[in-house]
Amino acid sequence: MLVFLVRHAIAHERNRIRWPNDALRPLTTPGIRKFQKAAYGIARCLPKRVALLTSPYVRARETAAILAEALGSRKPIECSELASGEPVHASFALLRKRKEGAVVLVGHEPNLSAFMAAALAGNRVKMKIEFKKGGAVCMEFPRRIEPGEAALKWMFPPRALRGLA
């Protein structure tokens, strides 16, 4: 299975007055504009048939909707396992349930880099990974969807993705 990780685009800064519930914090207008370009770059790197799964948080759902438009209006599927703060094993369990050959996970930091580290090197390894907002990663699980079983295919920051559009 090919697994693509996409970090949500640039969102407003945390503000407990405007968004007492951080799950409701949206993307900024510049974040939307920048990711619209990056989404076309990501779309060029994806296979034709790919499931698009997203965190239920507003900023991730908005990012997934922009990517869906670039892909030709696939409807993103909200998955609670991708919400900010969920444990890494929840993402592995989510992927094991999927039958597609390619899946996009739209989510948050530090969840995505923790999942990536576990997928590439196993649960016990700690890795520092800089995963920029609006960036994307491709990993392949050639046999089993288990920690330490993935191979990194590519990782692009948002600037590079905008250059692919």
| Three-state secondary structure readout of the chain | CEEEEEECCCECCCCCCCCCCHHHCCECHHHHHHHHHHHHHHHHHCCCCCEEEECCCHHHHHHHHHHHHHHCCCCCEECHHHCCCCCHHHHHHHHHHCCCCEEEEEECCCHHHHHHHHHHHCCCCCCCCCCCCCCEEEEECCCCCCCCCCEEEEEECHHHHHHHC
The mean per-residue pLDDT over the stretch 62-74 comes to 92
CATH number for the domain whose boundaries are 2-164? 3.40.50.1240
Rounded (5°) CA angle 121-67-112: 20
Predicted confidence (pLDDT) per residue in 12-24, tens digit: 999 999 999 999 9
**Per-residue pLDDT at 124:** 83
pTM: predicted TM-score of the whole model, two decimal places: 0.96
The average confidence (pLDDT) of the chain is 95
Domain ranges of the chain: 2-164
Predicted confidence (pLDDT) per residue in 79-130, tens digit: 999 999 999 999 999 999 999 999 999 999 999 999 999 999 998 888 889 9
The mean per-residue pLDDT over the stretch 28-56 comes to 96
Residue 153: both structure tokens together: 């295919």
**Per-residue pLDDT at 92:** 97
